[in-house]
Structure 1
Amino acid sequence: MSAELITGRIHSVESFGTVDGDGIRFIVFVQGCLMQCLYCHNPDALDIKGGQTVTVPELMKEIVTYKSFLQPNGGGVTASGGEAVLQAKFITELFKAVHQENLTTCLDTNGYVGDYNQDIINLVNESDLVMLDLKQINDDIHRKLTGISNQYAKRFAEYLYQQHKRTWIRYVIVPRWTDDNESAHLLGQFTKDMDNIERIELLPFHQMGASKWKTLGKDYKLKGIEPPSVETLKRLHSILTSYGHKVIY
């Protein structure tokens, strides 16, 4: 199937991302996600029927205008979300087109993969880097935090390890949900032998998405929770580095 015939649904794009992969990134925020994270800062991107329909050539027409800015230092295109694996064929075709322009590709995902079919295999193969959100290794807490089990994300992490795929782990620090020592130790223990993981990023929780929840008429359950303190980040950093990881925040 040609790229011209494949359409995808996207929420928005960002031209000059600096924290979503190597170098400067053009970020495509894909529409639709099956998780219901309590701290989601893009709840308007959850509806799989929302967003705008685009083709790969339409996106590439815009992307190539930034090529001279993206190309240095390994920059390129990141597929974020929403959840990019829900549109695996579309993102794979996009990544192929990106590679033809000598730009790099990055898949930003929550790892909610059920069937490891050829579409998923192709997507991972076409991704130069995967940024995987491991939201909580304690499954009971994960279910309350996201609405689903963490077994999918854990299995995807193991798959990336088996494929020797460059991976960055992202861990959102939410007070009372993911900022305790036990949760950090569980993450360290789960990932300690995965030498494909280049680093773990500690992402402080923030309230920037609260207004969107209100606009959508949804109940935001994390009202009043403050971002984690610097002391908390240092404590979790110390725990995770003890498992041999490079940890940044």
Structure 2
Amino acid sequence: MVIFLQGCKLKCLYCHNPDTIDTAGGKSYPIEELAEMAVKMKPYFGKKGGVTVSGGEPLLQSKALIPFFKRLKEEDIHTNIDTNGRLLNHFTEELLDDYADLVMLDIKHMTEEGYEFITGQRNKETTFNFAKHREASGKKMWLRYVLIPGITNTPELLHAMGKYFKDYKTIEKIELQPYHKLGVHKWESLGWEYQLKDARENTVEEIKSAVSILENYFKEVKTN
């Protein structure tokens, strides 16, 4: 079960859910209503399923997610957060350390210039500080990385990412997201200019090459 939360402080050029960026809008749900929905779906989760909160950036609502995740844990439901890792405060730490079984952490870029180009914000170190906190907790984490030819998908950047995270014990795998333009129509409907119109999709060979490089550093490399 995936719950998309409204609001994000980043504006990633390739975002395929740009309608969730604005912190205004969205629909409010009582925690118990969401919990009841999850309980009803529990028979379909199997051994590995559960509830994922995504967005937008779900950790903007960390304070509200604490009682929600606590309620899910009472029902023995697996909890997961899909995040850009930009926010780390008291509420976020409590949510991560006590109630989040898994974290999917988006790595935007390995350089400050690349991070600012993609997200519109500076200080990529916020994501790496977040990763360090998760590693120190000893709890499971997956990395996610969008492959854009010439922008994020270069051997230098892939090796840099692998070397940075190679000693992390909590990372179970890295998921690669080949670049696509499926969300362009959403940008257009919002009246926003899509700035990656000239970017192309990866070739099969480029994806295989990226996987081959990262397999030197991570236990599992998956292409979505």
TM-score scaled to structure 1, two decimals? 0.86
2:107 alignment counterpart: 134
2:76 alignment counterpart: 102
1:11 alignment counterpart: none
Question: Are 1:123 and 2:95 counterparts?
Answer: yes
Paired AA for residue 195 in structure 2? K
2:220 alignment counterpart: 246
Give the deviation of 1:229 after TM superposition: 1.4
Higher strand share: 1
Give the deviation of 1:224 after TM superposition: 3.8
Any idea what the Cα deviations from partners look like across 1:61-118, whole Å, max 9, x if unmatched? Answer: 2222212112x213110011100110001112111111111110001100011x532x
Any idea what the Cα deviations from partners look like across 1:188-242, whole Å, max 9, x if unmatched? Answer: 0110110110001111111111000000000000114232112111111111111
Question: Are 1:177 and 2:148 counterparts?
Answer: no
Contact 1:131–1:168 (Cα < 8 Å) also in 2: yes
1:145 alignment counterpart: 118
Q: What runs of 5+ residues in structure 2 fail to find an aligned partner?
A: none
Looking at structure 2, the residues matched to 190 and 241 of structure 1 have their Cα atoms a distance apart, in angstroms, of 14
Contact 1:76–1:98 (Cα < 8 Å) also in 2: no
Contact 1:192–1:245 (Cα < 8 Å) also in 2: no
Q: 1:73 is paired with a residue of what secondary structure?
A: coil
Q: How many residues align?
A: 221
Any idea what the Cα deviations from partners look like across 1:91-150, whole Å, max 9, x if unmatched? Answer: 12111111111110001100011x532x11211021000000011111111111111221
Give the deviation of 1:244 after TM superposition: 4.2
TM-score scaled to structure 2, two decimals? 0.95
RMSD of aligned Cα (Å): 1.2
Looking at structure 1, the residues matched to 198 and 86 of structure 2 have their Cα atoms a distance apart, in angstroms, of 29
Contact 1:44–1:212 (Cα < 8 Å) also in 2: yes
Paired AA for residue 192 in structure 2? K
Contact 2:173–2:218 (Cα < 8 Å) also in 1: no
Looking at structure 2, the residues matched to 244 and 219 of structure 1 have their Cα atoms a distance apart, in angstroms, of 36
Bigger relative contact order, structure 1 or 2, given CA contacts below 8 A and separation 6+? 2
Give 2:133's match in structure 1, choosing from 159, 164, 176.
159
Looking at structure 1, the residues matched to 138 and 144 of structure 2 have their Cα atoms a distance apart, in angstroms, of 18
Looking at structure 2, the residues matched to 140 and 246 of structure 1 have their Cα atoms a distance apart, in angstroms, of 28
Q: 1:177 is paired with a residue of what secondary structure?
A: coil
1:205 alignment counterpart: 179
Paired AA for residue 124 in structure 2? N
